[in-house]
């Protein structure tokens, strides 16, 4: 799980961005970070090393759940970060669809899509939280 330096750095980034969203964000940032953190934990618990090309419907379901959460947040929130997060979450969902229709890309491209989209979503949550925090500070609410 956390046997490589990349996995440890990713875990630290995930936890720090989520903590920042929980401490300084408002409800949309907290809900988005909470859903993404929950999906990350669920993915860590439910994935197994069965191979890349085996269709993993549970992991696909988790990715679709997160996509639905971000789409709902972008629909109800006035912020722009949920739109970016939903667009970036669509990439892993479509990579699962690509596996389901039996297009066999190289394993490195599949993992690159998953990892880069995850980093992009964390950046979107962090920037959205930062902007919300700065708007509250400018309004004198904090």
pTM of the model: 0.89
| Tens of pLDDT, residues 14-50 | 999 999 999 999 999 999 999 999 999 998 888 766 6
What are 70's two structure tokens? 């971000």
Distance CA(129)–CA(86), nearest Å, equals 16
Interval 52-80 mean pLDDT? 87
Distance CA(66)–CA(61), nearest Å, equals 9
What are 13's two structure tokens? 């980034």
Domain range summary for the chain, segments of one domain joined by +: 5-136
């Amino acid at each position: 799980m956390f046997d490589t330096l990349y996995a440890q750095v990713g875990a630290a980034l995930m936890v720090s961005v989520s903590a920042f969203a929980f401490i300084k964000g408002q409800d949309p940032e907290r809900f988005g970070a909470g859903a993404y953190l929950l999906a990350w934990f669920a993915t860590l618990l439910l994935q197994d090393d069965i191979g890349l090309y085996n269709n993993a419907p549970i992991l696909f379901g988790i990715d679709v759940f997160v996509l639905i959460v971000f789409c709902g947040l972008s629909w109800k929130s006035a912020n722009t970060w949920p739109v970016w997060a939903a667009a970036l979450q669509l990439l892993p969902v479509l990579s699962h669809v690509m596996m389901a229709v039996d297009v066999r890309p190289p394993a490195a491209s599949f993992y690159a899509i998953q990892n880069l989209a995850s980093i992009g979503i964390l950046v979107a949550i962090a920037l959205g939280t930062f902007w919300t925090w700065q708007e509250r500070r400018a309004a004198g609410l904090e």
